[in-house]
Amino acid sequence: MARPRRKDRTEPDGRQLKITLGDLRSTGVRDLIVFCQDYRCSHIIKLPAAYVDQWPDGIRISQLEPQFVCISCGMRGSNIVAGSNSTEKAILPRPVN
Ligand SMILES: [Zn+2]
């Protein structure tokens, strides 16, 4: 049986594990990618490490998500994922050369 992927870890009661910025930083991830809560909008923005660094290690991703307001559609709330290289290759447009 395949081992569960790291991002799928959950609390014993089944809730999604509350990941903090400190947890992310300990894995070498310092960028975040923020998705608009509204799937019809699907606005995406990358927060560079220099911006994310303003927040302390103890802040949970789930605490940050409700604080974003989409600059495209105005909806409050977001989904945030770690901005690792593999994530970016999967979801972000490739740079134009
Ligand atoms: Zn939006």
The model's pTM is 0.73
Query: What's the CA-to-centroid distance between 26 and ligand 1, angstroms?
Result: 30
Q: Locate tokens 């395949």: which residue?
A: 2
Domain contains 9: no
**How many angstroms does the Cα of residue 29 sit away from the middle of ligand 1?**
25
On whether residue 24 sits in a domain, the answer given is yes
Domain of 36 in residue numbering reads as 18-91
Beta bridge partners of 10: 16
Burial code (b: 16+ CB inside 10 Å, e: under 16) for 65-95 equals: beebebeeeeeeebebbbbbeebbeeeeeee
pLDDT value at 87 more than 80: no
CA-wise closest residue to 31 among 87, 95, 73: 87
Domain presence at residue 80: yes
Q: Is residue 8 a part of any domain in this protein? A: no
pLDDT for the residue 7: 52
| Tokens coding 38 | 């509204």
Residue 3 lies in a domain: no
Q: Is 10 a domain residue?
A: no
Q: How far is the CA of 66 from the centre of ligand 1 (A)?
A: 13
Report the domain count for the chain.
1
In this model, does residue 56 exceed pLDDT 70?
yes
